Amino acid sequence: MNIVILSRNENLYSTKRLREEAENRGHDIEIIDPLKCDIIIEKEKPTIYYNDRYLDYVDAIIPRIGASVTFFGCAVVRQFEMMNVFTIATSDAIIRSRDKLRSFQRLSKAGIGMPKTVFTNYSRDVEKVISHVGGTPVIIKLLEGTQGLGVVLAETKNAAESVLEAFNGLQARALVQEYIEEANGADIRALVVDGHVVGAMKRQGKEGEFRSNLHRGGSAEIVKLNEAEIKVAMKASRALNLPVCGVDMLQSSRGPLLLEVNSTPGLEGIEAATHKNIARAIITFIERNRS
C-alpha cells in the first residue's frame, strides 16, 4: 500500500514512528509537506502535484496537520478525499475539532459531560459571565489555542476582567470555563483508534502549573480508565467523526468531564507512558479499512 504522511517535519517523533511501523508492515510510505502541494481542480479529475509529480498513486494518508496551517492543510486533505484516498481523519473532522466552540456544541448535544462553559460576543459584563460558570477561579481559553497556549487561570474577578479585556482588544475570541479544583492540575489523555481506547495516560502539571501539557513540563504515567471514562472517550470520538484521536478529560466529583478532542494527537508521551505500540495500531486501522 502507498501511504502518505502529511507532515511539515519528518523528524518529529510521531511522524518517524508512523513511518517505521508502516515500513515494518511492508508498505511504501512518503512524508510530504502539505504546504508544498499544488491543488489542481478539474472536472472529474481532481489531482495534487508535488515535487514534479502527480500524487495519483496514493492509497491512504495520515494527516499530521499543525494548527497554524489548518486552512491549507485541510484543503490538501479534502483534495485527497476527492481522489477517493482513505484518510484517518477527514478534513471536516479536523476543522471541527480545531474549533473549540463548535466541537463543544456537538459534544454537549451528544450528552457528554464537560466543565460549564460560556461563550459571549466580546461581552464587557464579566461578572455575569463568571456567574454562569459558578464564580472564580475560572479558566479562559482562546478558541484556537493548542498545547496549553492561550489558556489562562484567572483566580479573581479582576484578573478575569483583565484577561478578557486583553483578548477582546486583540479581537481574539475566548471561552470562559469552570475551574475543576479537585483535578489538582492533572488530566487524562485517552488515545482512541478505530473507535476503541488503545492506551491512556494521566498527565500531571509541574508544581504551580494548572496546565498538564507535556510540552509545558508536565509528567505522564499510565492509567487504567474506569467504565465511565472509556464511555466518554468512545462517545467523543463518534460525535466528532474522528476514529483516531486523543480525548482529554478531567476527573471530577461528578465524573469524567471532557476538555478537548485532538484530531492529530502526539504519540511520544503516550507510547512512553503506556509502553504500547500506538503507531502500529494506527497502521493496522488503515489496513483494515483500505484493503
- Residue 32 maps to which CATH number? 3.40.50.20
**pLDDT per residue over 214-236, tens digit each?**
555 577 899 999 999 999 999 99
Instruction: Give Cα 271 distance to the centre of its chain.
Output: 17
How confident is the model over 6-10, as a mean pLDDT?
95
Q: Which domain holds residue 238?
A: 182-276
* Residue 107 placed within a domain: no
Please tell me the total count of domains within the chain: 3
- In the predicted structure, residue 146 carries a pLDDT above the cut 90: no
Quick one: 148 and 88 in the same domain? no
In a domain? residue 111:
no
User: Which of 153, 179, 205 represents a domain boundary (last residue)?
Assistant: 179
Distances (CA, A) of 44 to 41, 68, 84, 86, 237: 9, 31, 12, 18, 32
What's the whole-model pTM score?
0.88
Asked, for residue 110, whether it belongs to a domain, the answer is no
Please state the rounded mean pLDDT for residues 200-213: 71
Q: Which of 2-6, 28-32, 37-41, 121-125 has the lowest mean pLDDT?
A: 121-125
Buried b (16+ CB within 10 A) or exposed e, 249-259: bbbeeeebbbb
> Quick check: is 173 in a domain?
yes
Is the residue at 103 inside a domain?
A: no
For 205-243, strand residue ranges (E) read: 219-222
> Tell me, what's the pLDDT at 217?
53
Q: Is residue 257 part of a domain?
A: yes
3-state secondary structure string across 140-166: EEECCCCCCCCEEEECCHHHHHHHHHH
Closest CA to 160 of 170, 180, 174: 174
Q: Provide the percentage of residues in the chain whose pLDDT is more than 90.
A: 67
Nearest residue to 57 (alpha-carbon basis) of 24, 88, 80, 25: 80
Q: How far is CA 128 from CA 3, 118, 162, 175, 203, in A?
A: 51, 10, 15, 14, 32
Lowest mean pLDDT among 52-56, 146-150, 178-182: 146-150
pLDDT grade, residue 93 (50/70/90)?
very high
Residues 268 and 186 placed together within one structural domain of the fold: yes
